[in-house]
A and B are shown apart, each in its own frame.
Chain A
């Protein structure tokens, strides 16, 4: 299949970028990133600068790939990362527009690569549990109710890719932060620090300049792991309970 690609090219964080158009010959069995690999091979052969995009596991679990395909983070397929999107989702002759994630807190570094270290700083502010490392505890030594474990697990599926921020018209990081807070806070090991964690992570999130949630729910629609906005409600009430109810 022959495709026309409109790709955002930007030399560095400080330079202004622009779209450039390329044509590429792809196979419908290729993943989206493999199609970009083919384009880059050609560009390298032509002694041109290849398109910078982030990738790592290419099996939808690392959260590295970050690009907006035809206006949608990770492309048109529901619950799928860009690396797991295949070219059979497109037709011969299609024009595909590829842009980096857009948010003030995710500045573009080069081409399609953005700086997502704001997420790392949110995690550093409280996205952990304080336990001594050592031998893994026995599987069922701590009884956890099944539904609760399920909810925590669903939230833990967040791969921190930032598609929620990219999809949100406000560039809000509420889905990411709420997924981390739910994943840790719903389990007994994480519940101990829940109250302090919620305040610290929200403070850091606000400090990073992410926008405020206006419940458009675009994040949930675009999340490759289909994290629910139910988690955002949990973060809202946890934050209110923490700041009004605790002594901190």
Chain B
């Protein structure tokens, strides 16, 4: 079948990396905008209401499961491509050089694995606790509280964020994860467009510039949250 032939061809496999990668880039923007509400000094009410809305909307649920699927697809496909690429290079050169390409572009699997490890730690810190609360694992995973207008207890995720980011070592782990993400995006963003076949004298310099800016600003935006929480709760 042509579609299978397409998606298993070298270019088709790169297309999957590109499209899933760009979707995840979009997700990061939405995730950052949502999380920056943690900085609002109202005891976390805005953020908790937002988190409640996000976890109780069927549309967001569908997108969230799509997002998990794309993360897995991007990671698994990326690992398979990297391993296959490593075997296509029979032997390394005795003299290695960085003169012809960037370090990031040659270490996307390593960076990606660091980001994946970070995602798992991050989901363990918040997502898992929220899902586990009140289930067969019992209670006490996350504090609950009530807000006017919502007829059931709401998870106090803001409280979890403060508890988590009051620990220095967790803040450091998050910062390492974000640096890996920044370097991964530094190559990945513009690379995704090239894999899609979009290379144009007028637009490619813009895409490359946007990619560099994106790879710095998005991780920086995320880094503000643990740093702000840590230093305001010293």
A positions within 8 Å CB-CB of B: 6, 8, 19, 68, 70-72, 76, 97, 99, 102-105, 107, 167-172, 174, 202-203, 205-206, 209-218, 221-222, 229-230, 232-240, 243-244
Contact = CB atoms under 8 A, between A and B. Distances in A.
Contacts of A237: 196-198
Looking at A99, A169, A218, the one whose CB has the most chain B CB atoms below 10 A away is A169
A242 B108 CA distance: 29
A210 B11 contact: no
Given A215-B187, A237-B197, A243 B93 contact: no
A102 B93 CA distance: 7
B95 A209 contact: no
Nearest to B102: A216
B18 to A, nearest CB: 9
B57 interface: no
Interface of B: 2, 5-6, 9-15, 81, 84-97, 99-102, 105-106, 108, 187, 190-191, 194-199
A222 B98 CA distance: 12
Contacts of A230: 199
5 contacts: A71-B95, A211-B89, A216-B101, A221-B101, A233-B198
A205 B66 CA distance: 33
A124 B101 CA distance: 31
> Main secondary structure on chain A at its contact with chain B?
mixed
> Main secondary structure on chain B at its contact with chain A?
helix
Contacts of B85: 169-172, 211-212, 214
B88 A170 contact: yes
B100 A104 contact: no
A203 B9 contact: yes
A206 B10 contact: yes
A104 B88 contact: yes
Contacts of B95: 68, 70-71, 97, 99
Given A202-B9, A212-B14, A238-B197, 4 more contacts: A102-B89, A217-B101, A221-B99, A240-B15
Given A71-B97, A218-B101, A210 B88 contact: yes
Nearest to B11: A239
